[in-house]
Every structure is written in C-alpha cells, then in structure tokens.
Chains A and B, each alone.
Chain A
Amino acid sequence: MMVDVKLETILSKVQKPGRYIGNEWNCCLKEHDQVSLRMVLAFPDLYEVGMSNQGVKILYDSVNKDQDLLMERVFAPAVDMEEQLRLAGYPLFALESGKPLRAFDLIGFSLQYELSYTNVINMLDLAGIPLYSDQRSRDYPLIIGGGPCCFNPEPLAPFFDLFLLGESEEALPRLLKAVITHNQRGLAKQNILIELSNLKGVYVPSFYSPEYYSGSFSGLQKLEKQAPGSVEKNYVADLDSAPYPTAPLVPYIQTAHDRAVIEIFRGCSRGCRFCQAGYIFKPVRRRSAAKIAETARDLIASTGYDELSLSSLSSSDYPAIDELIKKVDEALIGKGVRCSLPSLRLDSYSVNLAENLHQGRRSSLTFAPEAATERLRKVIGKRISEAQIYRTLNDAVTAGWNGFKLYFMIGLPTEEERDVEAIAELCRELRRHFKRQGRPGIRFSVSVANFVPKAHSPFQWESQLRMPALISRQQLLIERFKKMPWVEFSWHDVETSFLEAVFARGDRRLAPLLEKAWQLGCRFDGWSENFSYSRWQQAFKELSIDPENYANHKFSYDDPLPWEHLNCGVEKELLICEHRLAFNGQFEKDVRNN
C-alpha cells in the first residue's frame, strides 16, 4: 500500500511499523472500482499472530480468486499504534489499499479466541463504525464473524449482523455473491439479512431473542419466521477439491509460525471429551497424498520457505503417513526444505515418524498426555496407558532425544489433588527410569493449562474449577517442581482462563459487559502484559454480573443451552452419552469406526 504523509508520521512513532503496511510477497492488490464487492478480513489480534493463522491465508486465497470479489486484511493495532491513530484522528485502515474500513462493503472478523473480543469492539470503534448492529444503517459495512468462536458467539451477538458457521473457504465466496445480488436489488438491510439467513451456515442473531427465567437462560425465541430454527454449519466435503492457497502471503516481519503449511487432514477422530476442536471440525476428511505432494511443491516454489509443516489436529493419525512423507520428500528433493509434523500422538509409531523427519536432529519432542493418572485420562477420553507413555518415551530416548515437552491440564472434572500431584510424580519416575537405563539427564518442559469447559464438547455441562482451588493446585505443582530443576515448568494464568470460561459458555447478557470492559481500557486480554483483571472486575461490578454464574455453573442435561440452536453436526445424545461414559471411566469406541 502507499503510505501518505500523515500515516508516515504515525508509523514513525510506533514499534514494528511493518505490521501496518502490507505489501508482502504474494499480496493481492485489486482496484476497488473493478469489483462488485469489497471485503476486509479483520483479525482481532496482532499481525504476527494473524499471519500465522492458516485460515486467514485460505480465505484470502479463496475470495481473491474470484475476479468480482476483493479481500483485504486488517489486524488489531498494537497499543502504541492505537494511541497514535487516536491522537491523529486517523481511521483504522486495510493493509492492501490503505483505505479506511468504512469504505468496504463488508468486514469479516475471524473469531479464534474469546480473549480477543475486546479487540473486536476496539477495531470497530477505531474504524468509526457504530458498535451495535441495530445502530448501523445500510451505509455501513455489514459486520460478519467466522471461526471456531462462532459456535457460541452469543456474548458478541448484538455487535454482529451475521455469523457464518463452520468452514468458510467455500461458503464465504457464496455468501459474498449473494450479498452482491441483494445489493443490486436495492434491498433494505433487514431484507438482505432475511435473504442471507436462508443460506447454509448463516446465523443472524437479531432474528432470535433470548429469554431468561429467574436469572438463567431459558430459551430462544425466533423473531423472523423465515430464519431457520437451527443453523447448520458448513463444512468442506472434499479437501482435494477445496480451494487451498498455493501462493500464500509471505510476511516480511517475523511471525509466530513463519513457514509453509499444508493441512493434511481436517477434524480429529480421537474425541477427547474436553476438546471443542475435535467436535466442531467433524467429520474427519483427508487430503490425498498426491494432492499434498503437488501442493507442497507449489508452495515452496511460490514462497521460498525452507520449512514445510504437515499440519492437522493429530498428525500421526493420517493413514499411511510414511507413504505421505516419502511422497513429499520426493517432491521436495534437492530444495533444501525440512518438514515438520506437529501434534504427535503418544505412541512408538509417532516416535518413528519424528525420527524419520528429524534425521540427526535431537531437540525435544512434544506430547500431550493431558492428565497424569490413568483414571483421569479415562475420564477425559485420552486413550493412553501408563505403559504406553513409558514405551513411547523409551523409544524416543533410544533414538537419541533427551528432552520432552509435556502438556497437561488441571481442573478437569473428577480431578483430585493426587491427580495433580501425579504430574510431578510422573516426571520424577520417568527421570529415574531413564537414569536406571543409563540415560541420566533427561529434561522435561511441562506446561499446565487450566480446564475450560467449551460449548459443543461432552464437557460443556461441566463447571470450571473455582479460582482459589485452581490456584492452590498450581501452587502445589510450583512447589513440587521447585525441587526438580531439570523440569521447566510453565502454567497458564488463572484469571485469563476464568474469563475464557465465562465467554466460552456465555450468553447475550455479556455483550454490554464487553463494551464496558473495553471502555475501561481492556485490550489484548490474551497478552499478559496488557491483561488487567481488576478492570474486568470493575466491569462485572458496574453491571452487576456475577462471572461465577457462567464459569462455575454446572448445567444439567435438561437445561436449555445458549448455543443449542447452532448445530455443529454432533447430536446432543452423543454428547450426553460421552459425558455419562466419562464418569464411568469408559471410552467410547473410536469415532472413526462410526
């Protein structure tokens, strides 16, 4: 984009101006008057985070492929940039053309994380756009949302004109085309929304009104008779024919994941009971090895990256992955590219795979047992036995690794203190075990997250463990690990997890709260340097909302849930069944077989 004098002055006063000027390799520049519809993809977090998101790159490609459509990008301005923009009265602008957001027909927010919600509000405000849907006439851009948080977008509902549920690389261009048609017919905003609500995956929140009975959500009333009673998600039926960017944007400034990415399959068949992703991305679909190899070749040729990540939720679950790696290797031979395979399952097979990929390199290997006792793993649906953990790490150590990164969660349903203690115990036992085997000095990096109950997972009815209890369990681990200097221990902030739980199962009464928190200065709540819990506490107090009623609330099966009208394709009966099995400590049969 071209930088005018005013913007240049602004940029000279901020850190990392490279975040705001676009012009990346493979960036798509189109004239605004040469297309019928202009959209901005808005990512409510920093450039470095947004540009590491594969969804951004996929949508950018799938929309811009269409001659008649244009998609530009905007990311949340960092705190220093916001200050300068406000000082100069300069409206938030899109990276490609530098045009203010208001000059677009549609703004689509990518909703990946609950703690970016205040950034959404802030970006609307910086763009000079009224926050609430009912305050915006047709002259303003349509404000739409997509991404995993749309499976319970209720806390954001009044700010948005519509949400697009599920995978959008095929559905979004379809939606945009429909907007063009209805615009040309000169329909009023309300009528455009009615028409759009007939499209699969479109959820227009203003067509539904929530009801509350003695302080609890008691159901949703449909206000617009043409709107569907239940909104069904979109998903891509065949990954091989779905659009995938072979010439993705290559940023100039370093981003979180700065490499070429090819998604080898989507969805996950493991069905861990705390995991929302496992349920909302069903069914499991895979890209063929031939297609992956072909895409890998194109990706490297167009980007010049030296690393290729074969990504998915659980990469070792790709059938015949050895074959796949062989094919990809062949396609990239002599190009100096190394492959990486994230999200490995805890088994010997995976160690083998990692070994093939990392020939010779011996850094650390990452696994996620999530819970340290077999009992608790059964509850949460992680199918790994103690013996399997030992066998896997044994294999890895034999193959030459001497460090492991292990992910756990605390605050899980039925968890007791001894389950938490077992995390430290497991590390100690493993270390001892390897010492006996003549391999002393094995190191661990242990990361412990706090359980957050998520909508559409079997644990959606569960409550989050209360904050003081979570803190004392963290404290217990801190104490234990103090005596184990060979463990690098890290943990998640409890207050952040608490807010995440509030919004993950929140309802529309939280919308004014978000606005209030934003007014009080909340931004980038997912970043510890910006997060201020006291501001949130003040917001809750001023609006007389008790956040514990959300985070620590246990729903019963009969309770209406604020997100139940949004259908991710998994029957409630299945979730109930899984939830019941959890407490019997049984596994469901692998959903792959269904």
Chain B
Amino acid sequence: MRLLQRALRRSGLPLAYSQGYNPRLRLVLALPLPLGVTAGREFGELYLTEIVDLDYFVSSLSAQLPAGLRLVGASAVAAESPSLASLVVANRYRARLKLSEGKLVKPALIESAAIKLMAKEEILMPRSGKKKKHISCTNVRPYIFELQLNLDQGADPVLVMLLKAGSDGGVSPFFLLHKLAECEPDSGSETWQWLVERESLYMISNGALVPLAEGV
C-alpha cells in the first residue's frame, strides 16, 4: 500500500486527496489482505481530479512501480458506481504446504484431514464482541464454497480454497488451515506450515460467482 501510494505520488497523475488536515490519497484496495498472505492480483480504486487517457495512466504509473509490482490494467468507472469493496463476495486462496527440510508429510494424511473438515456441519469461529468478555461464535462451514487439494507428484501439496468474504462475514484462510490440522490430531499436523497467496477476488455477475477481473 505504501509502495503504491509513493509510486502514485511520483507519477505526476492528477490525484485526488481527502479534505482537511492530513490529506490522504483517495485510494482504496478492494479487500485488504489478511496478515501473512501474499498477493497474486489485487484490485483497487483510485480517484483522480480530472479524466486522463487510460494508456497514459497505465504508462505513467508503471514507470514508477518497483520491480516485482506490475500494473495489469486500468479502467475508468463513473465516480458514483458501487465501490469494489461492496462488490467482492468471495476470494480464492492458494495454500502451499512448506515442507521443512527432511520432514515428509504423507499426502493421504492431508487428504483425510480435508475430507474430515468438509464433512463437518459446523466449524465454529470465535469472534470477540465489542465488550472483550463477550465471545460469540460463528459457524463458518457455509463460508467454504470450495476446497480442492492438489497432490502432484514431486511438488508441494497445494490447497485451493474459495472462501466467502465481504462485510457480512468471512473467514481467514489461516483459521481454516488451523482447523484442518486439528482434524488429524497427534500426527505432527500441528507443525504444518502453509504459504498462503490470494489468487483472486470474486463478485456475483448474472447470479454466478465470477473473478473480479472478468466481472468489472
């Protein structure tokens, strides 16, 4: 975020700022990344003070992006159209099991854990209420839209999860990975380490879940 803000300021584009002391760039990312998750492709909204040519926008900003960060595309929307954040209903994560040196995890073990997890009717996620003492639980099982395990020979096991997101509830991929490990207790599963990347965000278009890139 900081990287992007600085790149934008360097670009010389006509950026819009919030009013008042401590003016902020009017830049909003569609859905903030959970801590510890790397980003595959992110979406954001930026307000400008005047209309600029899209190619010019892309080239001005691209020139200021450090290596490792690439602007895939930009499109102009009317200022009053619904915000990206309100459109996002799900996101897909890709979790790769990091096999620490020398230690092997039996694929069958992960598979059975995944089956057990999906067979549950209820997965309770504690949620601290406004008052610290009050803890309520949400059943997040319905938030798992899809769970898919890829066990390719010679590659690290990969778990792809399509999870609900949005202002009316969501679930962290790490919480589910933790629950997954609990499904196979006493098997060393508590030492599993996952590298999690967010692959894409999803919105609803014509009644179906589609990646944000196609829907917008």
Contacts and interface: CB of A to CB of B under 8 A. Distances in A.
A335 B5 CA distance: 12
B126 interface: no
B24 interface: yes
Given A23-B67, A252-B66, A300 B9 contact: yes
B142 to A, nearest CB: 38
A23 B20 CA distance: 35
B78 interface: no
Contact of B6 (A305, A334, A359, A361): A305
A338 interface: yes
A361 B6 CA distance: 23
Interface stretch (B10-18, B158-166, B173-181, B203-211): B10-18
A300 B11 CA distance: 11
Nearest to A23: B67
A429 interface: no
B22 A361 contact: yes
B17 A336 contact: yes
Nearest to B24: A336
Nearest to B20: A360
B8 interface: yes
Given A301-B12, A302-B10, A23 B66 contact: yes
Nearest to A247: B10
Contacts of A358: 21
A338 B7 contact: no
- Residue from the set A301, A305, A336 with the largest chain B CB neighbour count within 10 Å: A336
B9 A336 contact: yes
B105 to A, nearest CB: 19
Nearest to B17: A336
Contacts of B6: 25, 250, 303-305
Nearest to B68: A23
B125 interface: no
Contacts of B7: 304
Nearest to A360: B21
Contacts of B67: 23
A306 B12 contact: no
B174 to A, nearest CB: 20
Contacts of A305: 6, 9
B42 to A, nearest CB: 17
A301 B5 CA distance: 12
B119 interface: no
A304 B64 contact: yes
A472 B67 CA distance: 55
Category for how many chain A residues contact B: 10 to 19
A410 B21 CA distance: 38
A358 B21 CA distance: 8
Interface in A187-229: none
B2 to A, nearest CB: 8
B3 interface: yes
Nearest to B21: A360
B20 A303 contact: no
- Residue from the set B10, B12, B20 with the largest chain A CB neighbour count within 10 Å: B10
A338 B10 contact: no
B15 A336 contact: yes
Nearest to B8: A304
A433 B89 CA distance: 56
Nearest to B6: A304
Contacts of A359: 21
B25 interface: yes
B82 interface: no
A306 B24 CA distance: 9
Interface string A344-371: 0000000000000011110000000000
Given A306-B9, A338-B23, 4 more contacts: A304-B8, A304-B64, A305-B9, A338-B21
Interface string A529-544: 0000000000000000
B157 to A, nearest CB: 20
Contacts of A301: 10, 12
A8 to B, nearest CB: 15
Contacts of A303: 6, 9-10
A10 to B, nearest CB: 15
A25 B66 contact: yes
Contacts of B64: 304
Contacts of A361: 21-22
Contacts of B10: 301-304
A364 to B, nearest CB: 16
Contacts of A338: 21-23
A531 B25 CA distance: 42
